[in-house]
Every structure is written in C-alpha cells, then in structure tokens.
Amino acid sequence: MKKISTILVSIMTLFLLAACGKNAKPETTTKEDTVQKTATKLKVDTKKEKTNALGNALINIKTNAKAEVKITNLKTRKTEVAKADAEGKVVYNVHLGKKVKSIQFEIGSTASGHTASSTIKVTIINNSDAYTEWVANSASTSTDADAVSMDESSSSEESSVDTQSTDQSADTTGVDTTSNANNSTANSTTTDSDAAADNGANDVAVQTVTEKDTEN
C-alpha cells in the first residue's frame, strides 16, 4: 500500500512539474544596437586649380580609409570611381585638351559603416601652352575674317557709287545731246529761214529790175 501511495505521489509530482514547465516563460534579454552612423569625411585641397604647361592637373582628395570616391565630370556626366588608400588619400589626374577652356568635377565619398559625404565641386582651368596658342590663333582668324568682311562691304559701296556716277553721266549726256540737237535744229531752221528770206528778196529785186528793163 505504501508503495502504491509512493508511486502515485511521484506520478503527480511529475505531472505538476510538467505543467509548470509548460507555463513558465523563459526570460530573454534583448539589446538594441543604437549605433549612429556618421558621415564620411571628405576634403579637397582646392576648389579651383590651373593646369601646367602640358595641360595636366592633380586633384588631391582626403577621405576615410578605404572609402569609395566618385568623381563626376559635370560636362560629360561621366563618373569614375577610385578607392582611397589606408590613409584615405586619393590623387586624381586630369588632362585638358587644347580646345577645352575648363572642366568642373563633382566629388563625393562613401565609407563602410558611414553615410555618404557631402559633395564638393572642383574647377580645373586650362593654362597649357597649347590652349593659349589656340586662343591666339582663333582671335587672329576672327580679326582677319572681320577685315575681309569690311573690305567686301567697302568694295560694294564703291561699286554702288560708281554705278550712280555712270547713271548720272548717262543722264547728263542725254540732256546735252538732245539740247545740242534741238539747238542745231533751231539754228538750221533759222539759217534756212534767213536764206529763204534772202532768196525771196533777191527774187523780188530781180523781177523788179527785169520788169523795169522791159518797160524801158
């Protein structure tokens, strides 16, 4: 009997333990990582720089170590990506052709675990010998073209004046010729009239004399 009671007590104890195990909730501790990301650092030595005599210039960039640097040509919209070294340095080489006055770049950087940096704009001005010579030649060509245009305009005006002079000469010649013709006609008419009058007078005189002679 005691054995049976002991067994029953043991069984009930097991059931009670099992029931307690189901209802018990394990304690959990959660920690939220509240690490605030900082912006990637970015520094450029100068915002405006001139090339050397060969048309080359260097853009010195300082950012976070191993950061990704994006350099965008704002004229062509072409972007190049460079990787900063362990010290966060990037040196970007720029070459400008002889017909390019200047180029503006936009630079930005992003490091792992940080937000993107603000962007910086850099302007490279062409100070090469080739560009200086090209500008001088362009100015000379433009001056020559203006001179030719002025010469053509002057020649056109002179031609117009000569044409007007010729027209005026033609008009004057016509008037003089007509006037001379009219004067000649008038003079001829006068001469003919005078001649006719003289002839008439002579005819009368002859007739008169003849008639007198006949009477005598």
Residue spans of the domains in the chain: they are 42-134
Paired residues of 123 in beta bridges = 48, 104
C-alpha distance from residue 58 to each of 11, 47, 48, 90, 138 (Å): 86, 12, 11, 10, 28
| Whether pTM exceeds 0.75 | no
Rounded to whole angstroms, the Cα distance separating 89 from 42 reads 10
Give pLDDT, residue 47. 82
Mean of pLDDT values over 93-113: 96
Report phi then psi at 56, rounded to 5: -105, 145
Q: Which contiguous run of DSSP H or E holds residue 11? A: helix 2-23
Residue 193 in this model has a pLDDT that exceeds 90: no
Q: What is the mean pLDDT of the chain?
A: 73
Query: Residue type at 199?
Result: N
In this structure, which amino acid lies at residue 79? T
pLDDT given for residue 139 in this prediction: 87
Q: What is the mean pLDDT of residues 162-176?
A: 51
Which residue has better confidence, 78 or 32? 78
* Rounded-to-integer distance, Cα 56 and Cα 93, Å: 7
Name residues whose C-beta falls within 8 Å of residue 104's C-beta, 6 or more positions apart in sequence: 73, 74, 75, 121, 122, 123, 124
Percentage of the chain beyond pLDDT 70 is: 51
Section 99-103 average pLDDT: 95
The beta-strand segments (E) located in the chain are 42-44, 48-50, 56-63, 68-73, 79-83, 89-95, 102-110, 120-125
- Helix, strand, coil shares, percent, the chain, to 5: 50, 25, 25
Number of Cβ within 10 Å of residue 72's Cβ equals 17
The torsion angles phi and psi of 95, rounded to 5 degrees, stand at: -130, 130
Position 45 scores a pLDDT of: 84
CATH code of 42-134, in short, is 2.60.40.10
